[in-house]
Chain A
């Protein structure tokens, strides 16, 4: 019974994350380029992805869709790393998302609090 409820919760969370994960990545990249390990830790810390590895199929799709790009840069530690950066298209999609997200979030929050 308990495991059934946990998996139901996980299913709902997975479905909800699916549509917004790309924008969360774009938001993380909006102010500075980040490398894979950094990005994946920030996303798992916020519970947005279940495990660090799942970032890479997501990044691959986002690159194919022209939302992110990557470049090799020398890190502070002196090692070259691949840094991900949003493209122009990625930035404009993030802006669009923000205009859609705020009213959507408020509407759902209102309903969940029992407003009619």
Chain B
């Protein structure tokens, strides 16, 4: 990634150390800072400064990295810092909670299967009080849980797990992971909608909005 070949060892080590210390910073920010320092070194060498002088004047890589870390990654407004969770993270948490909540509700509470059993009432026939035969209608309502447990859990967990995945992603991985898991959630919600209706719609909405509000990682 870094073209440090051809540089005096003391400068190469300086750049490598800086690159290592800036690793937690967003990619574009890190690249820009490293480019700046690299150009600085090239220019100072061309102006006749010695490698040792350049390293001393640049200062300790740790203090530069500490400054970068303290001031945080650049945002549209650099002075505005966002303590705590970013709006996107909060929405993703909401999406996961909604997915879990509605899944549990659908499995345990909503009657998914209604069985209607009819039978001739033999009691009435025997007594002969009523000429018309009575029909006994027994309506049994069964939830998804009653019929399919525990296999259903494996499928039911999928939306919740998909909604949870972006919350575990850190740094540069956050955006691609969030986009992928939200896309998969769309697919799963669509598939589930055929059997159970759009119960995942609120969670899906939260997950999609999370992709467009400010996230934990800055876009450059």
Q: Which residues in chain A, 44-80, are within 8 Å of chain B measured between CB atoms?
A: 44, 50-57, 59-65, 77, 79
B58/A81 in contact, CB under 8 A:
no
User: Residues of B within 8 Å of A, CB-based: how many?
Assistant: 29
Query: Known: A64-B220, A65-B78. Is A53-B43 also a contact (CB below 8 A)?
Result: no
Chain A nearest Cβ from B40, distance in angstroms: 5
Chain A nearest Cβ from B19, distance in angstroms: 13
Query: Known: A60-B36, A62-B78, A65-B76. Is A51-B60 also a contact (CB below 8 A)?
Result: yes
Q: Does A33 contact B (CB under 8 A)?
A: no
Nearest residue in A to B220 (C-beta to C-beta)?
A64
**B87: A residues at CB distance < 8 A:** none
Nearest residue in A to B22 (C-beta to C-beta)?
A57
Q: Which residues in chain B, 73-99, are within 8 Å of chain A measured between CB atoms?
A: 74-78
In angstroms, Cα B22 to Cα A54, docked, is 13
**A13: B residues at CB distance < 8 A:** none
In angstroms, Cα B44 to Cα A65, docked, is 27
**B37: A residues at CB distance < 8 A:** 53, 56
B44/A37 in contact, CB under 8 A:
yes
Q: Does A82 contact B (CB under 8 A)?
A: yes
Q: Show the binding face of B for A, using Cβ within 8 Å.
A: 18, 29, 32-33, 36-37, 39-40, 43-44, 46-47, 57-61, 63-64, 67-68, 71, 74-78, 218, 220
Interface pairs A-B: 7 shortest CB-CB: A51-B59, A64-B74, A56-B36, A53-B58, A57-B68, A60-B32, A61-B74
Q: Show the binding face of A for B, using Cβ within 8 Å.
A: 35-37, 40, 44, 50-57, 59-65, 77, 79, 81-82
What are 16 A-B contacts defined by CB distance under 8 Å? Answer: A37-B40, A37-B44, A51-B60, A52-B59, A53-B37, A53-B58, A54-B64, A56-B40, A56-B64, A57-B64, A57-B71, A59-B36, A60-B74, A65-B74, A65-B78, A79-B46
